[in-house]
Structure 1
Amino acid sequence: MKCVLLVLRYVMAVAMLSAASLSAAAQELNCKVEIDYSQVAGTNTAVFSTLQDALSEYINTRKWTNAQFSTNEKIECKLFLTVKTYEDPHITGELQIQSSRPVYNSNYTTTLINFKDTKIEFDYSQGEPLIFSENTMESNLTAIINYYVYLILAIDFDSFSPRGGDQYWEMLKNVVQMAQSAGESGWKAFEDTKNRAAVLNAFTEPSTQKLRDMVYAYHRTGLDEMSVSPDKGRQRITQSLDILSDVSRVAPMSVGISMFKDAKLDELVNVYSKAPQDERDRVYELLYSLYPTEGKRLDQIKKGKNK
């Protein structure tokens, strides 16, 4: 399975960047880290520049998997931390996580994750080293970062191969279990329908883990096929939306459903802009049942934006 995944990545990279040179064992992520500390202006803000550099190095220089990535196969992602309060060394805030992957035989990249974690809380002193450990919890900060790195990897691998992210979901479980044992904020089961434990459960609980099948169907059999056959690729995307509807029936409050909306709704407007009317009507009805407050955006699907 891993070989198939890597071949797919290689083919896509060559198609998009045929002139690029290959590197045998590059790190997996090209992650841009930004910190907004404007809400705590007037304090010693030099710590945030140090933290930004430390996080960038921690994420981008570490080898997180056993897979071989070439330089132009790196996963593009972004972590944007908004600091809400700072009382040295305690920091609270929100973290926006975004990741994307290329679409086969095109210059288009599609969003995989666009998620905001509103429960960020950790201690950090200027110059403090960030220590990685797979089996112990060194700090809540590194636990949060490890969690989101593994989430990015899990969903990315799932998008190329059926349940290809298995090992990274297991790593996520390990991080969550360690953090829950430590009693840190943002990790408790059933405390919050959108916290880190809830995100993990959405993709791994038996009743909702079909979301992972949707990730594969939507991207690999849908978007990736549209360069060859737009109609066939779009039909596969429509079929993948039925999985989302099935999950909604058993878990209507699943964070996985809102994560899909935040990552994909604008893209779906473009995907269906030139679809036949009956297909657009069907997709509109399905999505409206899931996201009734998004009527304005969904109307663009029904009308056909480029008609």
Structure 2
Amino acid sequence: MLCAAPFCGKAQELNARITVNGDKIATANKQIFTTLQNSLTEFVNNRKWTDATFAVNEKIDCTMTIIVNELDETNFKSEIQIQARRPVYNSSYTTTLLNFRDQQLDFEYTEGEPLDYNSNTLTSNLTATIVFYVYVILGLDFDSFAPKGGTTYIQQAQQIVNMAQSEMSWTGWKAFDSNQNRHAVATALQDNASDAFREMWYTYHRKGLDEMAANPDRGRTTIIGALPALQEVKKARPTSVLLQMFADAKLDEIIAIYSKATTQERQEGYKMLFEIYPAQSTRLEELQKPVR
């Protein structure tokens, strides 16, 4: 996606590393976790998720770590941590797109059973959840290259949420169960308050980070100028999951970007970010230190 055309080669979109951690489970059959891990890795990496083409060096690096907390025969109670990164233009740096913890992943799995996904019919909470996050990752990635460029994939994530509503035993999909679940993520990426966020997301990456190799000052200034969009989200949706998603993916990066800013920019940045993220005061204190 760093080429003149949307992409410049042909390859699957994701380079996924999937781990199934069963350390908490006392079972004689530890192989089931390895089997599931291998099956999920093949399921994600060997499938074409978009109509676009990616060069090999443009594939989105992502990790999914499933931590199994309880196992009763074929019933898994677990959580999943999802991380995704994309390359920054003309540099060896990669930037985090997503760093999200989902604590509601319960599913049934029998060792060796094939993993499949049909966009018209959901048959497994596990594959539905994995595909949901694949589309969220793609949505965030495409949004970072073009204004609202990921709309198609965000809509596909929403479609999975809609279909999962009829599965009463599936966790993580219901409205109002949590403001941090899959329903909340899909809704937040599409409601009116997300317009400012998604425009900021594009500006931050394509006009900011991707410009920093050629002109660090211009790239930094562009990023700093885009961040007030977070205040708009906070005002419109104070509990929006987008705010937490952004902090978990970007806050350390932003602090590093501000390290080269003027004293006034740093002070203004601290004030703005502290209003949005008061619980992150310790991390944000770095912005109040004198410029080195």
| Structure 1 partner of 2:24 | 39
Contact residue 5 and residue 157 of structure 1 kept, 8 A: no
Per-residue CA deviations over 1:107-158 (Å, capped at 9, x if unaligned) read: 1100010000000110000001001211110211110011000011000000
Deviation at 1:50, TM superposition (A): 0.6
Per the alignment, residue 253 of structure 1 pairs with: 239
**TM-score normalised according to structure 2 size:** 0.96
> Percent identical across equivalent pairs?
45
**4+ long deviations beyond 3 Å:** none
Question: 1: CA distance between counterparts of 2:23 and 2:107?
Answer: 18
| Residue 72 of structure 1, CA deviation | 1.6
Cα deviation, 1:248-289, whole Å, max 9, x if unaligned, reads 011111111011111111111110111100001111111001
Q: Is the 8 A contact 1:208 1:251 kept in 2?
A: no
Report the alpha carbon displacement of residue 187 of structure 1 after superposing the two structures with TM.
Answer: 0.2
- 2:79 pairs with 1:79: no
Equivalent of 2:91 in 97, 106, 109: 106
Q: Look up the match of 1:211.
A: 197
- Residue 244 (str. 1) matches residue 230 (str. 2): yes
What secondary structure does 2:24 align onto? helix
Q: Say if 1:203 and 1:101 are closer, same or farther in 2 by CA, change over 3 A.
A: same
Aligned match of 1:150: 135
The counterpart of 2:124, out of the listed 119, 130, 139, is: 139
Structure 1 segments unaligned to the other structure (5+ residues): 11-21
* Aligned pair partner of 1:280 in 266, 269, 272: 266
What's the Cα RMSD here? 1.6
With normalisation by structure 1, the TM-score equals: 0.91
Aligned residue in 2 for 1:19: none
Which shifted more, 51-60 or 63-72? 63-72
Distance 2:28 2:49 in 1: 35
**Post-superposition shift, 1:302?**
2.3
1: CA distance, partners of 2:4 / 2:180: 35
Distance 1:9 1:32 in 2: 25
CA deviation vs aligned residue, 1:66-106 (integer Å, no higher than 9, x gap): 00112121111000111100012110111000000111111
Shift of 1:61: 0.3
Q: Match for residue 165 of structure 2?
A: 180
How has the CA–CA distance of structure 1 residues 41 and 98 changed in structure 2, closer, same or farther, with 3 Å as cutoff?
A: same
Equivalent in the alignment of 1:232: 218
DSSP-derived class of the 2:200 partner = helix
What whole-Å deviation, never above 9, does each CA across 1:31-55 have from its counterpart, x for those lacking one? Answer: 0001111111334222111100000
Asked whether the equivalents of residues 193 and 232 of structure 2 are also in contact (C-alpha less than 8 Å), the reply is no
| C-alpha contact (below 8 Å) 1:193/1:255 kept by paired residues | yes
Q: Are the aligned partners of 2:158 and 2:187 in contact in 1 as well (CA < 8 Å)? A: no
SS at match of 2:11: coil
Match of 1:52 among 13, 37, 58: 37
Deviation string 1:7-31 (CA, Å, 9 cap, x unpaired) is 2766xxxxxxxxxxx8x42111000
Partner of 1:220: 206
Structure-2 separation of matches of 1:229 and 1:264: 21
1:178-209 CA-partner distances (Å, limit 9, x unpaired): 11122221100121100000011111011334
User: What residue number does 2:52 align with?
Assistant: 67
Secondary structure of 1:181's match?
coil
Contact in 2 for aligned 1:188/1:197 (Cα 8 Å): yes
Residue identity opposite 1:93 in structure 2: S
The 3-state SS of whatever aligns with 2:101 is strand
Which of 250, 257, 269 matches 1:271?
257
